[in-house]
Amino acid sequence: MPTRPADDTPAIHVMAGVITDARGRVLLARRTQGRDLAGLWEFPGGKVDPGETPEQALARELHEELGIDADVGAHLITVPQQMPHKRIRLDVRRVPVHRGRARGLDGQALAWVPMDKLHRYAMTPADRPVVAALLETDCYLVTPSPHDVSDGAWLAGLDAVLAAGISCVQLRGPDVGAGRWRTLVAEAVARCHAHRAEVLVSADEALAEAHGIGLHLPAAMLMKRRARHFPEGLKLAASCHDERELRHAEALGCDFAVLGAVQETASHPGRPAIGWNGFAALREHVSLPIYAIGGLGVGGVEEARLHGAQGIAAIRGLWPSVG
């Protein structure tokens, strides 16, 4: 059995490039036999050598491994991850332009993959969040409870955030009467679908299946659940606060998790925040996509991605009429 590296073992800085061609396809490389995680697919790249900048390292690795000259572009995500015998920090950059025909100079198989087919490939644990960063939204709205506002005002708030471009919504109303909540959810789902936004409902599995939408599990429900038992094709997500909950969410086959609170929040005064370092340390233990939550807004997306998050989840930060 592989030895788990100590959490204070220095992480190896590894670069990876999301190389795209004129057809919008992405280049993947298959890890060769004799290496850790042999047979799995990854985004091409390699380690940063002493004295190199990250950009220099990635350009060098892509030339050595693929025979291409690459223009290294913007940061996409940095994924801290524990691997057998070591810890890595996978620093991923976009590579929108390259010169030369990519070839597997180290004997690795290559594949040009349409963006919407990436999920079909068995990726290394560190590369799985990269796929999510390419395909999924970077903002996950958690609706405020409508308990102290009218239905019309709450739905108007939802309309406003959908018009602003929010494309993934968790409907949450823990203190609303069942009949009223069912009516509001039906209307909210229709409005989300009209904007082609993905929608999940918190805690109510029957309501989720009735509308054919995703289900978001609060941490207590997550830990009581022994198997996924939710229709394939519908998103299953979970709220997590520690390593045990994250590992359980991954074992269940959750599509993503929400982890925090990163900063102190008005909704949970006095609850200790984990901070970005705490977030990154917990993120190392799993490969499922994770949204950071707790005192964050749209302006926090890049910071979140620097610490391994898919993006941010928020109530107040994405629903400006709250608080």
Q: Give the count of beta carbons closer than 10 Å to the beta carbon of residue 229.
A: 10
Output the pLDDT for position 200.
99
Q: Check residue 20 and report its DSSP letter.
A: B
% residues pLDDT > 90 (the chain): 91
- This prediction's pTM: 0.94
**Domains plus CATH for the chain?**
12-124 (3.90.79.10), 139-314 (3.20.20.70)
Q: Which of 166, 162, 167, 202 is nearest to 185 (CA)?
A: 202
Contact 11, 85 (CB under 8 A): no
260 is in an annotated binding site: no
170 φ/ψ angles, rounded to the nearest 5 degrees: -105, 120
Spatial distance between the Cα atoms of 253 and 255, rounded to a whole number of angstroms: 6
232 is in an annotated binding site: no
Q: Give the count of beta carbons closer than 10 Å to the beta carbon of residue 224.
A: 8
244 is in an annotated binding site: no
65 is in an annotated binding site: yes
43 is in an annotated binding site: yes
Output the pLDDT for position 280.
98
Contact 81, 311 (CB under 8 A): no
42 is in an annotated binding site: yes
pLDDT in tens, 9-60: 899 999 999 999 999 999 999 999 998 899 999 999 999 999 999 999 999 9
Pairwise pLDDT comparison (274 vs 83), residue with the higher score? 274
In the sheet that holds 12-19, the strands lie side by side as 45-47, 12-19, 86-95, 75-83
